[in-house]
C-alpha cells in the first residue's frame, strides 16, 4: 500500500479522543471585551429607510442588528436543510425592526416630519410587502409562538391585525398582492397535517439507501434527512396551504391542495398561480431544493390544474442542468403566458453545440412545448422583459464563467451589451432599471423608447457612478449623469419612481454616514435631503485609514485597507492583524482590480477586526488574496499563490516601517479560515492565526469546495495537499479557533473544527477552541460578538504583544 493510500484511510477513520484529554474553560458567564469596545457595539444604528414614490411617502425603521439569545434558544426544525422556528413557523432572522415611522415628502420645500405607527412596543417586525399602488403594505410581527400579519394604510397610517398565527414562512417569506390591490396570496399552516408522533426508540427496520450507478457530484450539505421519521417531520414543517386573504374583509379562501409548496407566483392578471411542489421520494443525500418536484398551474376561479412538468431528483454532476422545462416564470406583458428554458445539449456543459439553451413561451391552456423565441449560445442564466417582444437576457460560459448580456428589440435585432469576466469589477455595464407594473410584475423601465442602466462607474482610474440611457432601436448609449466628487463615496440608487429627471442617491465619506437625498439629474442639485445621519462612532472614524497598493512577486497588483491608531506617529512598529478571503480569477488583470476606497464610512457591525486598532494594533482589512488560473487547475498553485499574497503585504508594510514583521496575525472566516490554517502549516510568516467557521479537511468535502470542480478521486493529491488538517504537525504558532455550534453552511460543519482541535491537542500544539452555542454560520447574538472580541483581545495580550 502506498503512502498516499495510508493517509486517505487514516483520515476517514473515526477519531476517538482519550477521556479527559481536553482542558476546558469553565467561565461561568459570557465574556466581554474592554469597556470602549462594548460601549461602541451597544450604540444605536442609523434608521433604515425606503421610499414609496407612488404615494410620496418615506418609511423609516429602527433596526436591531442582534438576535436575542432567547430567540436563538427556541426550537428550530432542520430537516432536509429547511430551517424554521418549530412553533412560530417564521424563518430565523439576523435583524428586525422595532419602530416604524412614515413621513410625507410630496412637498419638497417642507422639512420632513415623521409620524410613528401605532404598534406594540418592544416588538419585532419585518418583511414589508407593498400593494402595487402603495396605498397599503403588510408586514410580519415575529413572536415566539406565532407570526402576526399587520396591515398599514399609508394615507391614514391606520394599523390593524389581519391574522394572528396560522402562517408559515418555511418555503415562502412574503405575501403576494393580487392586481386588485386588495387581496393577497398567503401561506398557511395546513389543517390536514398532524405532527408525527415521536417514533419508538426500538427500530422496526434498517435505513437503506442504494445507488443507481449514475455519476453525480454531491456537495456536503448539513441537516439532511436520515430516516423515515425525519421524512415525516420534513413534510410536517415544510407543507403549506395556499390561500387568498381579503385585506378589507378579512375573508380567507383556501386554494389548491396543501403540500410541500416550494414556490408560487401569480399570473399578471391574477387568474392563475404557478406552483412548484416537492414530491416523494425524498433524498437522504441532497437538500430539499434538489428533491423531485412537479410544476403546474392552478386556476383560482375554477380550481382547474394544468400540469407542466415533472422534475426528477437533481442528482447531477457540477455544471449540468436538468433536461425539460426549467426556470419557469410568467411573461409580465402577457395575461397568461409562461416563459421557460430548456437545454439543447442534454444538460451537458461539455457537449459541443451551436446553441446550448432555448427559451420558449407557453400560453393558456399550457399544453405542449410552446413557441421558441430565443436560442442562447451559452447556458441561460436570466431574462428581463422590456415589453411583449423585447428583452435582455444573460448567458454564461461553463469553462471560464464569463457572462454575456444581450438585448433583443422589437425588430428581433440582437445586440451584445456586455461581456463580464469572472471576478471583474472595472468597466461594468451596471444594473438595468426595473419597476413594478400595476399588476405587480417587474419589467424594465422604458421612457422615449429607451431603457436605463445605473452603475458604480468603477475603472482603473477611479469611480464615477452613472446613469446611462440606451436606445432600443439603434442601441446607442447616452450618459445622463456622472457623479465625480472626490470628497464623497456616492451611490445612485434609482430614479425617483418613474421620473427620469430625478435620482435618489446616497453620499458618505470617512466621517459621515450614508445619507440619502433626491437630486435633479440635469443640475445635480439636491432637491430634498431625506436623512441627516450623524457619526455615532468617532473612535472608529478618527482612526487613520488608507488604501495601500503593493505588488506580488509575479507582478500581480494587490491592495487592502490599512487602519492605524488615531495617534500613530510612525515612531514605532505595531503588531498587525491581517484579514483576507481568497478569491479565484481567470487572469492577473482582473485579479488586480480593486474596490477598496478611503471614502466610505465604517461602522463596525459585530465582532469586526477593526476594533483591535483601538488597542494599538494595525489592522489590514480585506487584503487581496487572488488565486489565478483556470477553473480546472487554479488549486494546483493555491498554496504558492496564497503564501505569495501574504508575503507581499507583510513585506510592503515592513518596508514602510509600520509593522513588526514578527508580530503579524492572520485572520479569516469560512473559506478565509481554511486559508489561515494553510498559511500556518506551510509558511513561517505569522506569529499566530485566528480561524472562524472554516473547513480544514478536504476529504470531508470530496465533491468540490469553493470553485473547485474536480472530486477527491479526480484530484487526490490536490485535496490532500490543501487539507491543513493533515499538516497540523507543522504548525508552530498559536491558533485561536472559533466555530458556531449550529453552523448550517455547506461544508463548514462544526465537526471540522472539533476534529482540528483534537489534532492540535494530539500533536501538542497551542490552540484555544471557542464554540458559540446556538449560532449559525454567521453570528447573530450580541453576546457572541462580544465574546469573540474578548477572545481577540486576550489572544493578542497573551501571545503577540
- How far apart CA 414 and CA 580 sit, in angstroms, is 41
Q: How many of the other CB atoms lie within 10 Å of CB of 110?
A: 11
Q: What is the mean pLDDT of residues 375-384?
A: 97
- pLDDT at residue number 213: 67
- pLDDT tens digits for 657-675? 999 999 999 999 999 999 9
- pLDDT tens digits for 181-228? 999 999 999 998 888 888 777 877 787 777 666 666 667 788 999 999
Task: State yes or no: pLDDT of 562 exceeds 50.
Answer: yes
Residue 253 pLDDT grade (very low, low, confident, very high; cuts 50, 70, 90): very high
The partner residues of 563 in beta bridges, in order of sequence, read 545, 619
Contact 183, 170 (CB under 8 A): no
Q: What is the mean pLDDT of residues 320-325?
A: 94
Query: Higher model confidence: residue 204 or residue 450?
Result: 450
Task: Report which listed range, 107-121, 269-283, 437-451, is most confident.
Answer: 269-283
Residue 25 pLDDT grade (very low, low, confident, very high; cuts 50, 70, 90): low
- pLDDT at residue number 586: 87
Q: What is the mean pLDDT of residues 18-30?
A: 54
Task: State yes or no: pLDDT of 752 exceeds 70.
Answer: yes
Triad 591, 596, 601: Cα angle to 5° = 160
**CA-closest candidate to residue 511, choices 542, 532, 480, 553:** 542
- pLDDT at residue number 24: 52
Element (H, E) at 561: strand 557-564
Task: State yes or no: pLDDT of 5 exceeds 60.
Answer: no
- How far apart CA 437 and CA 446 sit, in angstroms, is 12
Q: What is the mean pLDDT of residues 416-442?
A: 93
Q: What is the mean pLDDT of residues 143-170?
A: 96
Q: Is the peptide bond before 611 cis (omega within 30 degrees of 0)?
A: no
Residue 27 pLDDT grade (very low, low, confident, very high; cuts 50, 70, 90): low
- pLDDT at residue number 16: 33
Per DSSP, 764 falls in state: T
- pLDDT at residue number 382: 96
- pLDDT tens digits for 85-106? 999 999 988 789 999 999 999 9
- How far apart CA 606 and CA 662 sit, in angstroms, is 28
Task: Please report, rounded to a whole number, the percentage of residues in the chain having pLDDT higher than 90.
Answer: 84
Mean pLDDT of the residues in the chain: 92
- How far apart CA 244 and CA 176 sit, in angstroms, is 9
HSE-up of residue 687 (Cα within 13 Å, Cβ side) = 19
**CA-closest candidate to residue 484, choices 469, 463, 508, 502:** 463
Alpha helices in 145-283 (DSSP H): 228-238
Task: State yes or no: pLDDT of 167 exceeds 60.
Answer: yes
**CA-closest candidate to residue 520, choices 497, 496, 498, 489:** 496
Task: State yes or no: pLDDT of 469 exceeds 50.
Answer: yes
- pLDDT tens digits for 625-660? 999 998 888 899 999 999 999 999 999 999 999 999
Task: State yes or no: pLDDT of 19 exceeds 60.
Answer: no
Burial code (b: 16+ CB inside 10 Å, e: under 16) for 659-685 equals: bbeebbbbbbbbbbbbbbbbbbbbbeb
- pLDDT at residue number 214: 67
Q: What is the mean pLDDT of residues 137-146?
A: 96
- pLDDT at residue number 108: 85
- pLDDT at residue number 23: 46
For residue 228, report the phi and psi dihedrals to the nearest 5 degrees: -70, -35
- pLDDT at residue number 708: 86
Residue 258 pLDDT grade (very low, low, confident, very high; cuts 50, 70, 90): very high
- pLDDT at residue number 682: 98
Q: What is the DSSP string of 653-707?
A: HHHTT-EEEEEEEEEEETHHHHHHHHHHHH-S--SEEEEES----GGGSTT--TT
- pLDDT at residue number 26: 58
- pLDDT at residue number 216: 61
Task: State yes or no: pLDDT of 587 exceeds 60.
Answer: yes
Task: Please report, rounded to a whole number, the percentage of residues in the chain having pLDDT higher than 70.
Answer: 96
Lowest model confidence (mean pLDDT) among 130-144, 504-518, 703-717, 746-760: 703-717
Neighbour-count burial of 641, counting CB atoms closer than 10 A to its CB (0-12 exposed, 13-18 middle, 19+ buried): buried
Q: What is the mean pLDDT of residues 582-597?
A: 92
Q: Is the peptide bond before 33 cis (omega within 30 degrees of 0)?
A: no
Amino acid at each position: 500500500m502506498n503512502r498516499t493510500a495510508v493517509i486517505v484511510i487514516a483520515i476517514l477513520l473515526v477519531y476517538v479522543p482519550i477521556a479527559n484529554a481536553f482542558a476546558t474553560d469553565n467561565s461561568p458567564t459570557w465574556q466581554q471585551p474592554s469597556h470602549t469596545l462594548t460601549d461602541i457595539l451597544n450604540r444605536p444604528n442609523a434608521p433604515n429607510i425606503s421610499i414609496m414614490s407612488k404615494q410620496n411617502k418615506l418609511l423609516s425603521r429602527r433596526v436591531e442588528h442582534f438576535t436575542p439569545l432567547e430567540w436563538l434558544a427556541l426550537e428550530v426544525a432542520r430537516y432536509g436543510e429547511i430551517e424554521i422556528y418549530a412553533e412560530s413557523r417564521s424563518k430565523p432572522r439576523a435583524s428586525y425592526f422595532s419602530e416604524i415611522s412614515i413621513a410625507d415628502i410630496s412637498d419638497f420645500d417642507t422639512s420632513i416630519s415623521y409620524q410613528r405607527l401605532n404598534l406594540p412596543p418592544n416588538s419585532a417586525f419585518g418583511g414589508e410587502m407593498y400593494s402595487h399602488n402603495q396605498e397599503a403594505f403588510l408586514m410580519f410581527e415575529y413572536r415566539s409562538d406565532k407570526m402576526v400579519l399587520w396591515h398599514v394604510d399609508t394615507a391614514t397610517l391606520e394599523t390593524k391585525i389581519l391574522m394572528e398565527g396560522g402562517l408559515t414562512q418555511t418555503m415562502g417569506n412574503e405575501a403576494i398582492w393580487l392586481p386588485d390591490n386588495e387581496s393577497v396570496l398567503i401561506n398557511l399552516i395546513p389543517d390536514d397535517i398532524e405532527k408525527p408522533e415521536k417514533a419508538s426508540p426500538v427500530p422496526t427496520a434498517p435505513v437503506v439507501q442504494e445507488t443507481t450507478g449514475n455519476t453525480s457530484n454531491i456537495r456536503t450539505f448539513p441537516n439532511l434527512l436520515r430516516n423515515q421519521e425525519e421524512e415525516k417531520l420534513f413534510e410536517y414543517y415544510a407543507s403549506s396551504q395556499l390561500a387568498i386573504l381579503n385585506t378589507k374583509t378579512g375573508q380567507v379562501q383556501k386554494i389548491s391542495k396543501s403540500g410541500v409548496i416550494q414556490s408560487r407566483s401569480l399570473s399578471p392578471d391574477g387568474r392563475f398561480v404557478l406552483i412548484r411542489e416537492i414530491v416523494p421520494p425524498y433524498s437522504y443525500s441532497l437538500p430539499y431544493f434538489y428533491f423531485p418536484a412537479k410544476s403546474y398551474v392552478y386556476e383560482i376561479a375554477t380550481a382547474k390544474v394544468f400540469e407542466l412538468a415533472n422534475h426528477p431528483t437533481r442528482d447531477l454532476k457540477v455544471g449540468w442542468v436538468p433536461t425539460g422545462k426549467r426556470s419557469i416564470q410568467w411573461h409580465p406583458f402577457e395575461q397568461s403566458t409562461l416563459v421557460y428554458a430548456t437545454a439543447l445539449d442534454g444538460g451537458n456543459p461539455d457537449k459541443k453545440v451551436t446553441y446550448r439553451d432555448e427559451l420558449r413561451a407557453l400560453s393558456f391552456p399550457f399544453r405542449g412545448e410552446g413557441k421558441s423565441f430565443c436560442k442562447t449560445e451559452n447556458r441561460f442564466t436570466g431574462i428581463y422583459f422590456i415589453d411583449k417582444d423585447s428583452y435582455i437576457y444573460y448567458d454564461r460560459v461553463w469553462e471560464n464563467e464569463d457572462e454575456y448580456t444581450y438585448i433583443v428589440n422589437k425588430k428581433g435585432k440582437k445586440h451584445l451589451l456586455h461581456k463580464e469576466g469572472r471576478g471583474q469589477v472595472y468597466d461594468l455595464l451596471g444594473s438595468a432599471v426595473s419597476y413594478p407594473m400595476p399588476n405587480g410584475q417587474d419589467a424594465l423601465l422604458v421612457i422615449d423608447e429607451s431603457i436605463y442602466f445605473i452603475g458604480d462607474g468603477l475603472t482603473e482610474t477611479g469611480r464615477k457612478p452613472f446613469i446611462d440611457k440606451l436606445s432600443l432601436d439603434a442601441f446607442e448609449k447616452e450618459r445622463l449623469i456622472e457623479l465625480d466628487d472626490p470628497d464623497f463615496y456616492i451611490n445612485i440608487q434609482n430614479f425617483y419612481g418613474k421620473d427620469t429627471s430625478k435620482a435618489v442617491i446616497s453620499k458618505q465619506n470617512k466621517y459621515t454616514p450614508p445619507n440619502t437625498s433626491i437630486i435633479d439629474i440635469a443640475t445635480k442639485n439636491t432637491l430634498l435631503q431625506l436623512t441627516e445621519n450623524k457619526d455615532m462612532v468617532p473612535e472608529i472614524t478618527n482612526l487613520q485609514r488608507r488604501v495601500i497598493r503593493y505588488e506580488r512577486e509575479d507582478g500581480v497588483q494587490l491592495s487592502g485597507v490599512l487602519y492605524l491608531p488615531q495617534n500613530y506617529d510612525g515612531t514605532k512598529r505595531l503588531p498587525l492583524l491581517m484579514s483576507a478571503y481568497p478569491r479565484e480569477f481567470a487572469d492577473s488583470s482582473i485579479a488586480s482590480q480593486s474596490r477598496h476606497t478611503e471614502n466610505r464610512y465604517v461602522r463596525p457591525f459585530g465582532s469586526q477586526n477593526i476594533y483591535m486598532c483601538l488597542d494599538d494594533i494595525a489592522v489590514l482589512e480585506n487584503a487581496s488574496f487572488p488565486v489565478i488560473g483556470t477553473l480546472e487547475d487554479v488549486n494546483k498553485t493555491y498554496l504558492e499563490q496564497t503564501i505569495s499574497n501574504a508575503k507581499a503585504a507583510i513585506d510592503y508594510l515592513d518596508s514602510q516601517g509600520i509593522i513588526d514583521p514578527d508580530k503579524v496575525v492572520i485572520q479569516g472566516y469560512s473559506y478565509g479560515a481554511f486559508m489561515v490554517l494553510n498559511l500556518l502549516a506551510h509558511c513561517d510568516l505569522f506569529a499566530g492565526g485566528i480561524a472562524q467557521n472554516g473547513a480544514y479537511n478536504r476529504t470531508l468535502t470530496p465533491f468540490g469546495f469553493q470553485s473547485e470542480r474536480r472530486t477527491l478521486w479526480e484530484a487526490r493529491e490536490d485535496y490532500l495537499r490543501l487539507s491543513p488538517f493533515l499538516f497540523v504537525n507543522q504548525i508552530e504558532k498559536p491558533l485561536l479557533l472559533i466555530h458556531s455550534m449550529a453552523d448550517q453552511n455547506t461544508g463548514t460543519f462544526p465537526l471540522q473544527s472539533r476534529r482540528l482541535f483534537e489534532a492540535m491537542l494530539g500533536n501538542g500544539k497551542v490552540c484555544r477552541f471557542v464554540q458559540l452555542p446556538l449560532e449559525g454560520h454567521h453570528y447573530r447574538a450580541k453576546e457572541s460578538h462580544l465574546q469573540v472580541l474578548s477572545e481577540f483581545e486576550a489572544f493578542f495580550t497573551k501571545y503577540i504583544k
